[in-house]
Structure 1
Amino acid sequence: MKTKVALVAVMSGSLVLAGCATTDNQNTTRGAAIGAVAGAIAGKATGNHKNKRMVIGAAVGALAGAAVGGYMDNQEKALREELKGSGVGVQRDGDRLVLDIPAQLTFDINRSDIRPSLYPALNDIAKVLRDYPKTMVVVAGHTDDTGPYQFNMNLSRARAESVQSYLVAQGVQPIRIETIGYGP
């Protein structure tokens, strides 16, 4: 019975790929390299003067990729600072930040109402999301494996939607939040 929140930076013109966990500077460098390759491919594939377009595409892609890496580095740092001591884990997975929220903070058994013990962490998450408005959020609800499968699927979706509603009430734009229920 845990909830996972995945944060993904979305910036136009960039290609975002998941990768291994790295240090802050490596994330920016990797983002620039991925962006450069993506930009070069896009530039080469369009119109006449393909080599010139490839160079321009690589430069634009490198800037976009570095921007995504740097943006996520800063957001990861902010989340770690805000959530320090809360029990919520912050993990970096390439272009994604995954927040692992312990079951004892989230929901009672067979319920989708958020426990009050989760409010402080959700408030901190909402604050960071308001500060980083280019981030898309996926809230993944889970359940234990007791009870009927369909009940657990519905419950996991309801839990994800409860977290979404709470974040929206804290000022996060609803269009930025996707919910998914994984069940048991």
Structure 2
Amino acid sequence: TTGKPKGVLYSHRGSYLNSLGEAHHQGFTAKTRYLWTLPMFHCNGWCTPWAVTAAGGTHLCLRGVREDSVWDAIEDLGTTHLCGAPTVCSIIADSTRAHQLDAPLRITTAGAPPSPAIISKLQKLGIEVVHVYGLTEVYGPYTVCEYQDEWDALDGPDRAAKLARQGVGMITA
């Protein structure tokens, strides 16, 4: 991305295991319609190309991550999942086209902690946000914010503050 290349060598086994973890934690199924807002060159898209394919999902590709093209894909192509940095979350939440969604959309975000304010905006649109953390050397995401049922009782800002955290090891960690 913005740093110097690390020259990390991936194994087939490591990529396979991370892909299974991604499929599990992101909730991919054969009905998944995954919108590519995450660079596929970055940790091989967090191994998500293999995870979506393993689940039998559909890949939706963009020429560039721009407000209109992202919202077009959400509205017209039935996007169910996407991943990206908090900047991508802001593009969606702060758009003039932002509105309450009729169908579920799950955004997995990483790269920096998402602000509770952005999480709150996305939740008001009906978007579920999952915060993960990882690094190139571990194939991308490695820990996740595992939602706790007792957070349902929290008001929006307090729940968003919890969702901005992570630290539970993913299933393959």
One fold, TM greater than 0.5? no
Greater RCO, CA 8 A, separation 6+? 1
Higher helix share: 1
TM-score (norm 1): 0.28
